[in-house]
């Protein structure tokens, strides 16, 4: 009996065929279908439309990571499967099978000392496991805060990579590092509004260290919106919001929390002043509108 999700047993997605068919981790018609779904349907909707088109919307580094590690490829396919299971329920069990295989292989690699946390495939796999948990939560209506352990892991992985990169300092930020750093911030920010168990991910983030990946421009001379694949605005505002939301989970405040809250209030006031300054510097009408809209929405959410 065919394992293809198509009635005719096809291994094609529409009229497209997959150049990755036969690579490590893509050996069955299901693998083939999901790799195409990942490329054609899932990934194009992940990043902001006006993020740099030739780099942030180029998925070849993921294919490279997947060919180097079947564990990473499994994480990619698991995420694609759970996403498409919104409309194809038969793939939910397939997604779980991929996911369990990835988790088992990752734990074995850590236990055997084969993983030190600085590997590219570990970074990508962990990021996609976060996406898997979030999509699974939305898909099933269950708590998507199952992503919390992976967010905490992402914070630790990025800390390891930043420490390693500090030995060869440069002003250039490798795009996958920017993507991972912004993913960590965005997922933590979004989920923390609803689930207090995500607070431990916020606690694991070392902002001064993470700023190495968040602060410099990937593309010199390009706008902030072009340089930002996910956030689209100043990352420090997200940091303040994450801190405020974490504090709100500890009401009533003790004296230390109250003082920290006052410090955050002053930071928000400072950011409000910077907001108007940034708006006045933007010449392009569309970019000015985006700056005002995105940052105003953030202020509304936090206040």
Classify residue 206: in a domain, yes or no.
yes
Asked if 220 and 91 sit in the same domain, the reply is yes
Classify residue 17: in a domain, yes or no.
no
Taking the C-alpha atoms of 73, 76, 79 and 83 in order, what is their torsion angle to the nearest 10 degrees? -120
Question: Measured between alpha carbons, how far is 151 from 180 in angstroms, rounded to an integer?
Answer: 10
Domain boundary among 187, 202, 232: 232
For the cut 50, the answer to whether the pLDDT of residue 4 exceeds it is: no
Total count of domains within the chain: 2
Tell me the average pLDDT across 278-286.
Answer: 63
Asked if 142 and 281 sit in the same domain, the reply is no
- Biggest alpha carbon distance in the chain? 67
CB contact set of 103 (below 8 Å; sequence gap of 6+): 129
- Confirm if 184 and 151 have CB atoms less than 8 A apart: yes
Classify residue 90: in a domain, yes or no.
yes
Asked if 67 and 150 sit in the same domain, the reply is yes
Asked if 65 and 92 sit in the same domain, the reply is yes
Asked if 282 and 175 sit in the same domain, the reply is no
Asked if 256 and 228 sit in the same domain, the reply is no
Instruction: Give pLDDT tens digits for 24-55.
Output: 668 888 998 998 899 888 988 888 777 776 77
Range of the domain at 81: 29-232
For the cut 80, the answer to whether the pLDDT of residue 194 exceeds it is: yes
> Among 211, 162, 187, which residue's Cα sits nearest to residue 46?
187
Asked if 222 and 120 sit in the same domain, the reply is yes
For the cut 50, the answer to whether the pLDDT of residue 14 exceeds it is: no
Classify residue 237: in a domain, yes or no.
no
What percentage of the chain reaches a pLDDT higher than 70? 78
Domain boundary among 200, 232, 264: 232
**Confidence category of residue 289, pLDDT binned at 50, 70, 90:** low
Asked if 84 and 183 sit in the same domain, the reply is yes
Classify residue 46: in a domain, yes or no.
yes
Asked if 196 and 256 sit in the same domain, the reply is no
For the cut 50, the answer to whether the pLDDT of residue 159 exceeds it is: yes
**Confidence category of residue 175, pLDDT binned at 50, 70, 90:** confident
Tell me the average pLDDT across 273-287.
Answer: 66
What integer pLDDT is reported at residue 49 of this predicted model?
A: 74
SS3 (DSSP) at 13:
strand
Mean pLDDT of the chain: 80
Estimate the crossing angle of helix 60-68 against helix 120-140, to 10 degrees. 100
Instruction: Give pLDDT tens digits for 56-77.
Output: 777 778 888 888 899 999 999 9
DSSP secondary structure, 199-250, as one string: HHHHHH--HHHHHHHHSS-SSTTS-HHHH-SS--S-HHHHHHHHHHHHHHTT
Asked if 140 and 66 sit in the same domain, the reply is yes
Phi and psi at 123, nearest 5°, equal -60, -50
Asked if 261 and 219 sit in the same domain, the reply is no
- Confirm if 109 and 71 have CB atoms less than 8 A apart: yes
What integer pLDDT is reported at residue 97 of this predicted model?
A: 94
């Amino acid at each position: 009996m065919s394992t293809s999700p198509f009635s005719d047993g096809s291994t094609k997605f529409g009229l497209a065929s997959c150049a990755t068919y036969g690579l490590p981790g893509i050996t069955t018609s299901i693998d083939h279908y999901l790799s195409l779904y990942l490329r054609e349907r899932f990934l194009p909707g992940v990043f902001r439309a006006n993020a740099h088109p030739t780099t942030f919307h180029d998925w070849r580094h993921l294919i490279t990571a997947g060919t180097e590690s079947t564990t990473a490829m499994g994480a990619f396919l698991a995420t694609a499967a759970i996403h498409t299971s919104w409309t194809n329920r038969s793939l939910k069990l397939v997604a779980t099978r991929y996911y369990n295989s990835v988790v088992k292989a990752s734990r074995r690699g850590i236990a055997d000392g084969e993983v030190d946390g600085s590997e590219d495939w570990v970074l990508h796999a962990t990021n996609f496991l976060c996406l898997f948990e979030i999509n699974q939560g939305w898909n099933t209506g269950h708590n998507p805060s199952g992503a919390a352990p992976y967010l905490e892991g992402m914070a630790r992985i990025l800390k390891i990579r930043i420490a390693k990169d500090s030995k060869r300092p440069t002003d250039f930020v490798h795009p996958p590092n920017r993507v991972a750093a912004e993913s960590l911030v965005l997922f933590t920010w979004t989920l923390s509004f609803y689930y207090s168990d995500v607070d431990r991910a916020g606690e694991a983030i070392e902002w001064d260290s993470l700023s190495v990946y968040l602060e410099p421009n990937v593309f010199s001379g390009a706008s902030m919106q072009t340089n930002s694949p996910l956030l689209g605005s100043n990352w420090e505002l997200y940091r303040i919001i994450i801190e405020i939301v974490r504090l709100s989970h500890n009401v009533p405040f003790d004296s230390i929390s109250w003082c920290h809250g006052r410090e955050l209030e002053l930071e928000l006031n400072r950011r409000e002043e910077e907001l108007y300054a940034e708006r006045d510097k933007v010449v392009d009408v569309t970019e000015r509108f985006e700056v005002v809209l995105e940052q105003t929405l953030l202020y509304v959410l936090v206040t």
